[in-house]
Amino acid sequence: MKVGAAMFFTDTSMAPADLATALEERGFDSLWAPEHSHIPVNRTVAYPGGGDLPKMYYEVMDPFVTLTAAAAATRTLKVGTGICLVVQRDPIQTAKAVASLDQVSGGRFLFGVGNGWNREEIENHNTAFATRHKLARERIEAMQAIWTQAEAEYHGEFVNFGPLMAWPKPVQRPHPPIIVGGAFPWGARRAVRYGNGWMPHRVRKHYADVAALVPRFRALLAEAGRREEDCPVTIWGVREDRDALLADRDLGIQRVVLSLDAAKRDVILPELDRWAKLIAAVA
């Protein structure tokens, strides 16, 4: 089982290149960067984690910029969006950003995607909250066409463009893995339909136990005629608990991701040192 780490990179956190180097040295497999373009001052939707919204949500840097810095500082560490809010992004431009990062990283990019919970943030991008899930699917399908076709076109309800040429193409074939974030059953069903992995969040208090849901997700894959190795599970939000990690490993989880505070080296490095021992234990 592989272990990754995520951080909201801000102008007061550990720098992405420094964190990436530290992770690679300690046996982590991946670094993940989340995305929020902004946070509206007035919100009606509660923060899914409970309590006040942490300020790192409105301080976070662009993930494609921070992950490029991380990729340039490392040789084997995978870099991933955790998650990219495709409902807030133009698909043609995002397809180029994904392919470019996959090129400069030498094929190490993981495209984690999600559809978002912050209604006001989403609507500020002129996206209708109620239809965001279909919009996300169409944008991802459109990007898949751009990555895999010399002259790509897509015609949907929300995304519509005629034949176009766009390079670079990704290093990974047919494209970087699309790892779909979201709760069971809807996020899991989206992963089965157009993803190359499902990434549920363990620590959100209103979610069911993820381990109990994994067999149900595997059943959805089987019903769709898909193989588990083509759409594995990544569990987001794990803790420093050796027994829990071993249970995830024995369940056949491909990767787990821990969430780091948006903090400096003096806080982060001791935590990574403890995790290095856990990584060895569950390898």
What does the block give as tokens for 260? 């780091």
Which two tokens mark 124?
Answer: 């500020």
**How many structural domains are present in the chain?**
1
pLDDT of residue 70: 98
pTM comes to: 0.96
- Note the pLDDT of residue 225: 97
Confidence (pLDDT) at 205: 53
Name the CA dihedral angle for 184, 189, 194, 195, rounded to a multiple of 10 degrees.
Answer: 30
Range of the domain at 61: 2-282
Bond into 54 cis (ω within 30): no
pLDDT in tens, 61-100: 999 999 999 999 999 999 999 999 999 999 999 999 999 9
Residues (pLDDT < 50) of the chain are: none
| CA distances for 174 relative to 72, 106, 107, angstroms | 23, 15, 11
So what's the pLDDT on residue 259? 96
Gyration radius (Cα) of the chain, Å: 18
| Helical (H) or strand (E) element with 66 | helix 63-72
Would you state the pLDDT for residue 208? Answer: 64
- Residues 21-48 pLDDT 10s: 999 999 999 999 999 999 999 998 888 8
Q: For residues 258 and 29, is the Cβ–Cβ distance under 8 A?
A: no
**DSSP secondary structure letter of residue 230:** G
- 3-state SS class at 85: strand
Report DSSP state, residue 62: P
Predicted confidence at residue 76, as pLDDT, reads: 98
CB 26 within 8 A of CB 283: no
**How far is 259 from 248, CA to CA, in rounded Å?**
17
Which is it for strands 255-260 and 234-236: parallel, antiparallel or unpaired? Answer: parallel
The domain that holds 155 is classified in CATH as 3.20.20.30
Residue 51: partners with Cβ closer than 8 Å, 6 or more residues away: none
- Residue 26 DSSP class: T
